[in-house]
Structures are given as C-alpha cells and as structure tokens.
Structure 1
Amino acid sequence: MPMFINVSIGLETSFQYINYMKHFVLVLLAFVQLSCATQNSSPGEDNSIKKLIIKDQPVYIENKTINDIVDFTFFLEKHLISEGVYQVNVKSGITFKKCIFKKPVTAFRKMVDGKIVLTSFQGNVSFIDCVFQDEVNFRGSRIMGRTDFTGSTFNDSANFEELNCYDNAYFNQCVFEGVSRFQNAFFNQKANFMSAEFDEVISFQNSMFNSELQFSASKFYKYADFTLVDCRGKVLFNYAEFTEKADFSHSIFAQDFHFVSTKNNTTNFNNCRFLGKVSFNKLDVLNTLSLNESYFLLDMPKIDVSSKKLIKNSN
C-alpha cells in the first residue's frame, strides 16, 4: 500500500511539472512574438531597407519616421572602380514619401584609409515631401532613373557634388536650410528647381545641364554661385529672387535664357556666352547688374536696368 501511494504522488508531480513547462513555453513564445512585433514596428527602417535592396526588390516607404542612419554604401558589397574608389550598385528603385529622417541619409562614405565608396542607383531615387533633420550626402552618386526630391526640406547640409542624373531631376519646392553643394554635377535630362528656397550658400559651380534648367520663382537668401556652368538647353530664372550676390560669370548658355522679373542685389554675368535669345526684362536691381565682357550671338538684348546700375562692355 505505501508503494502505491508513492507512485501516485510521483505521477501527480510529473503531471504538474509537464503543465508547468507547457505554460512556460507558451509564455516564452508570446514574449518572442511580442519582441518581433516591436522590432518590426520600430521607427528604424534600416534593416528592412537592407533586406529589400539585397533582394533587388523596390523600396517603398510612406509616412514613417526613420530613426536609423540610412547609408546605401553599407547595404551591398562594394567593388573597386578606380584607384582608391569603390562603388556599390543598387538595382532597387528607392521611394520614400512623407517620411522624416532623424539621422543622416548618405550614399557616400570616406573610409579611415582615405578611400571612398560611391553609390550607383540603377532605378529611381525619390524622396517626396520628406524632411531631413540631419545631413544628406549623395556626392558622386549615379542615378540612372528619375531623381525626385519634390517638396522636401533639408534642415542640415545637402551635398550633391559630382552627382550624375541620367533621367529627369526634380528639386522643385524644396527648402534647403543648410549649405547646399551641387558643384560639378551633371544633369542629362531636365533639371527642375522651380520655387525652391535656399537659406544658406548654394553652389552649382562647373555643373553641366544637358537639357532644360528651371529655376523660376526660386529664392536665394545667401550667395548663389553659378559660375562656370554649361547649359545646353533652355534656362529659366523668371521671378527668381537673389537677396545677396549671385554670380553666373564664365558660363555658357547655348539656348534661350530667360531672366524676367527677377529681384537682384548684385548679380554678375561677366565673360558669359549667350548663344540663344536672351530676356532681361522688368529687372529689380538693388546694386549692380554686370555683363562685362559677355558675348551675345544674336542681337544685344534690351536690359531693363538704369545705366547707373548696369555694367557692360559686351562683345
């Protein structure tokens, strides 16, 4: 009889242990699922972006706040393209709409040894109505598809030096609150900066525009550098406002150039070449407009500026 009682107690204890383990496993599974769900809903999208890019799948993210650094040079393996220069090739189309980026967004990286990593995008690169709270760097990037930053705000510096856009590029209605750099950039198709605002210094020095360039109704609150630009298509700056100095010297305008109803402080077009029709009508000039040593292939245009403010010794 005592033996029977002991076995019964042992079995009861075993069942209790099994039930306890079942409850423990269920609680553990619930915790893991909750943890995964929390990770998937976190603001940082870096991990999910990387997974899509690795699989060459399109990236489309809307109405998200991104807390992680977005660095396209880390998502794929880099390849040597010249001495000290590497490149990653992103085949995925990239689209962000109405997103807020808390940390830097970059497609350029300089390593400790001085070597650099660039990014080549085979599809589109679109950041529509986004806010960049930290720096943005697409220096040396090649974008084969459409480039679209329409309506975006850059709270910090924006570096697009040596950018190569092979399709249409849209920066219309953008607000650049920090220093902006577009030196040595190349735009193969239309470049649209209509109604853009530049709060700090902006430079397009030595950039090439192979098609139409649109800057109408844009506002420049600090120095605007357009020296040495090569414009192969029509250029429009109608209703643009230059609060401080603007310099277009040593530039070439191969087709029609429209600079109508602009507001200027000191604007220079020295040693420029105008090969199409030129419009300098209804200008508002605070200090001077200089066209010294500039060449006009067609007739010298009518310039609506008082002789005291106009400097010209044109050919």
Structure 2
Amino acid sequence: MKHFILAMVALVQLSCATQNSSTNEDNSMKKLIKTDQPIYIENKTIDEVIDFTSYLDAHLISEGVYQVNVKSGITFKKCVFKKPVSAFRKMEDGSVVLTSFQGNVTFIDCFFEEDVNFRGSSIYGRTDFTNSTFDKSANFEELHCHENAFFNTCKFEGALRFQNAFFNQRVNFMNAEFYDIASFQNSLFNSELQFSAGKFFKYADFTLIDCRGRVLFNYTEFRDKADFSHSMFAQDLGFINTKNHTTNFDSCRFLGKVSFHNLEVVSALSLTDSYFMFDIPEINIPSEKLMNSK
C-alpha cells in the first residue's frame, strides 16, 4: 500500500511538472503576442534577444518598408535585459521592418545592458521608460508617440538618438541624465515638454525642434555645448537656474513668454537673429555665475 501511495504521488508530481512546462510554453512572449494577449513581466533577468519584428508577419506599407502590428500591451517592471531589445530590423536587401504598438509600451525600473532600438516605431498607447538605465546606445529616431511619454529619471550611458521623433501629447524627461551625445534634432513636440533638472554631460542637439506646448528646462545642466538653433517655441519657455557651458538659441522663434533667469554660463549664451513675439526677455546672469563669458 505504501509503495502504491508513493507511486501515485510521483505520478501527480510528474503531471504537475508537465502542466507547468506546458503553461510556461503557452505563455511565451511570442505566443501571447500572436494571440493579442497582454505581456506583463516583473523582476526577471532576460537572457535572450527581444525582437518585436520577429513575432508577427510583416506587411508592406511603403516601398522597402514593412510593418508588424502588435496589439498586446507590453509591460516590463524591474527587469534586466542581457541582450538587445529591438522593434526595428534592416534586412539584407535594404528594406526595413518597423513595429506599430496598438497598446502601451512600458519598461519601468529596467536595465538594458545592450543596444535598444525603437527606430520608426509607432506607439498608440502610453509610452513609459521611467527610471530605466540604458547602458549602451538607445535609438528612438522617427518614433511616434500618440499618448503621454515618460522618460523621467532615466540614465542614458550611451549615445541617444531622437531625431525626427513626434510626440502628440506630454513628454517628460525630468531628472534624466545623458552621459553621451543626445540628439533631438528636428523633433516635433505637440504638447508640454519637460526636461527640468536634467543633466547633459556631452553635446546636446536640439536644433530645428518644433515645440507647440510649454517647454521647461529649469535647473537643467549642460556641461558641454547645447544647440537649440533654428527652433520654434510656440508657447512659454522656462530656462531658469540652468548651468550652461556653450548654449545657442540662434535664429529661433519665441512666440510665448521666455524666462532666462539666474543662469550660470561658462563660455557663451547666444540668441543671434532670434525673434521674440513679446518683449525681448531679460537675461539674468549673476556676476558670480558668469565665467569666461565671450
């Protein structure tokens, strides 16, 4: 009787193990995305390439451009990614595959050890990378965010590319740190843009940006050159208590109120050929915060 009970226990354990294995397999990211189920992963170390372009069939949307449509909401929290994370793929014939996310794309408190590439992605839900660290390059070039986007308290250790991006609603980079070159050239911000208390340690390229909402750079530090030349600010610009090495606002258009108060300037602050709809703002640089000014 004892041997019979042990055999039954072993059989039950084997059955449970088989069920768990099957459940894990059925819940793999690829299978969940294929069935439009939400993805939620927390406190995991992921040692495989994440490539959203490979989970679904791609459809031609333009000459040489294909797209996959991900309907699943994507959420990772407190995860470590050991290998690249990508939603963009370039094929051998030169054509590219982009990703359209119909739901949210969320990576909160995550650490990316390798490159991250969301070039050309469209995100129709919330975009949230709050408090995440990018150890290598991060490419968000031509990204389209249709709802609020959060990159606050992020750390970008490698080069950051946001050229030609489009943000339909609010964007938050508050307290973010940029340790390599960061480029937002020719991006359009349709609502409020928040960069307050950020830190740029190398060149920051904001040339040709189009800002339709309020813009806040209060208490931001620019340790190297920051260039806002040929940009347009349709509403108010806050640039209070900033630390600047060489900052250019040449040939800009300011259609709202502009605040340049209590600035620290190491080399130069330039507004050559800029247009102000209201009065030219007073640029307040206390003498103790003006060093080697040209």
Secondary structure of residue in 2 paired with 1:52: helix
Q: 1:259: how far off?
A: 0.2
SS at match of 2:106: strand
**Aligned AA (1:51):** K
CA displacement 1:227-274 (0-9 Å, x = unmatched): 000000000000000000000000000000000000000000000000
Aligned to 2:163: 183
Matching residue of 1:127: 107
Q: 1:105-144 alignment to 2 at 5 Å?
A: 105-144=85-124
Q: What percent identity do the matched residue pairs reach? A: 68
Equivalent residue, structure 2, for 1:258:
238
Any conservation in 1 of the 2:266–2:291 contact (CA below 8 Å)?
Answer: no
Note if 1:85 corresponds to 2:65: yes
Cross-structure match for 1:225? 205
TM-score under structure 2 length normalisation: 0.91
Higher-Rg structure is 1
Counterpart AA for 2:87: A
Give the deviation of 1:304 after TM superposition. 1.2
The Cα of 1:37 is off from its aligned counterpart by 4.3
2:199–2:220: 8 Å Cα contact kept in structure 1? yes
1:193–1:308 Cα change, 3 Å: closer
- Equivalent residue for 2:81, pick from 96, 101, 108: 101
- Find the aligned partners of 1:37 and 1:276 in 2 and give their Cα distance: 60
- Give yes or no for the alignment of 1:281 onto 2:235: no
| 1:39 to partner: Cα distance | 10
How far has the Cα of 1:310 moved from its partner?
A: 6.9
Q: Is the 8 A contact 1:194 1:215 kept in 2?
A: yes
Could you report, residue by residue, the CA deviation over 1:104-131 in whole angstroms, capped at 9, with x for unpaired residues?
Answer: 0000000111110000000000000000
Change (3 A) 1:128 1:308: closer
Q: Paired residue for 1:74, among 54, 59, 71?
A: 54
1:193 equivalent in structure 2:
173
Label 1:126 to 1:281 Cα distance change in 2 as closer, same or farther (>3 A): same
**Alignment partners' CA distance in 1, 2:85 and 2:26:** 11
SS at match of 2:251: coil
**One-letter amino acid of the counterpart of residue 267, structure 1:** T
The superposition leaves residues 73-97 of structure 1 with CA deviations (integer Å, 9 ceiling, x where unpaired) of 0000000000000000000000000
Measure the CA separation in 1 of the matches of 2:26 and 2:230.
43
How far apart are 1:147 and its partner, in Å?
0.2
2:150 aligned with 1:150, yes or no?
no
Flag the 1:105–1:46 CA change in 2: closer, same or farther, 3 A: farther
Unaligned runs of 5+ in 1: 1-22
The structure-2 alpha-carbon separation of the partners of 1:47 and 1:140, relative to structure 1 and needing over 3 Å to count, comes to farther
State TM-score, norm by structure 1.
Answer: 0.85
SS at match of 1:243: strand
Whether the 8 Å contact between 1:244 and 1:266 is mirrored in structure 2 is yes
Distance change in 2, residues 1:133/1:31 (3 Å)? farther
Q: Structure 2 regions of 5+ residues with no counterpart? A: 1-6
Query: Which residue of structure 1 aligns with residue 184 of structure 2?
Result: 204
d(CA) in 2 for partners of 1:91, 1:37: 26
2:28 partner SS: helix
- Report the alpha carbon displacement of residue 34 of structure 1 after superposing the two structures with TM: 7.2
**How far apart in 2 are the matches of 1:201 and 1:35?**
49
CA–CA distance in structure 2, aligned partners of residues 104 and 47 of structure 1: 21
Tell me the equivalent position of 1:214.
194
